[in-house]
Amino acid sequence: MFPSAPRANGPSTGGPTAPSCDEAKLVQATLAGDRQSFTAIVQSHSRRVYNFLYQLTRHCQDAEDLTQQTFIKAYHHLARFDLQRPLINWLLTIARNAALNHFRSARKWTEIPLDAAGSEPSPASTAESRDRAANLWDRARAVLSPREFEVLWLRFAEDLSTEETAQVAGLTQTHVKVLVYRARQALLKGEDRI
């Protein structure tokens, strides 16, 4: 099940979400040297960061490596974190930049299926594959451009607001709205642009 940390405002529609007070305390405690506070941060957000990176890379090991990089960078630059913003937005921004650097350094990468280790697909993996084929995100990946997919993921899977999506993706809010509109239209029409 996709993890989702409790959001202050629930599913967002427009404005940014309010930062969690507990998060700010955890960050401040980490900066003061409390190791357990950062452990709590990792435990709260690692799955969301991993899932986002997995959607970008479609590669389990790369997603895990990049998740590690993301949290290590976050740990070393925690003093730069703006306590007025939700921590997950900052982590996703770091993760996105790490993924972009990864793509630049590795010109070509191959997708490793999740069940690549086994020769015979298990009933569970067969059922999972069937579910995945029916998953709207798999169709979105086939139909949309990478940027449209990324924005759609941030907007609806991560439940970020338009403003937050723009911040993480490094785009303007208008650009995000246009990309979401195009992506929605493409999915509704079932266009295949590959």
Partner 1 sequence: MLGKADENALGSRHVASCADCQRFFAAATGLEAALRRDARQNPFAPAGLDERILREIDRSAQPVRPRHVRPAMLAIAGAAAAAAVAFGLWQKTNSSVPEENGAAGHGAVVVRDEPTTSQPWTALKPSVDALMRQDPLRTEVDSVYADARSAVHFLALNFLPAPAVPSHDGKTSPGNPAAGG
130 binds partner 1 (CB under 8 A): no
DSSP state of 19: P
**Alpha-carbon span 96 to 164, nearest angstrom:** 13
Contact between 86 and 17 under an 8 Å Cβ cutoff? The reply is yes
Q: Which of 5, 24, 178, 187 binds partner 1 (CB under 8 A)?
A: 187
137 binds partner 1 (CB under 8 A): yes
Q: Which of 7, 141, 175, 184 binds partner 1 (CB under 8 A)?
A: 184
Q: Which of 7, 47, 147, 177 binds partner 1 (CB under 8 A)?
A: 47
Share in percent of the chain as helix, strand, coil (round to 5) = 65, 0, 35
Torsion of CA 40, 63, 56, 113, to 10 degrees: -130
Nearer to partner 1, 107 or 190 (CB): 190
Contact between 148 and 183 under an 8 Å Cβ cutoff? The reply is yes
Q: Which of 39, 101, 172, 174 binds partner 1 (CB under 8 A)?
A: 39
Residue 170 has phi, psi (to 5 degrees) of: 70, 35
Q: Rule CB under 8 A: which residues touch partner 1?
A: 1-4, 11, 30-31, 33, 38-39, 42-43, 46-47, 50-51, 54-55, 60, 64, 67-68, 71-72, 75-79, 114, 131-132, 135-137, 140, 152-153, 156-157, 159, 184, 187-188
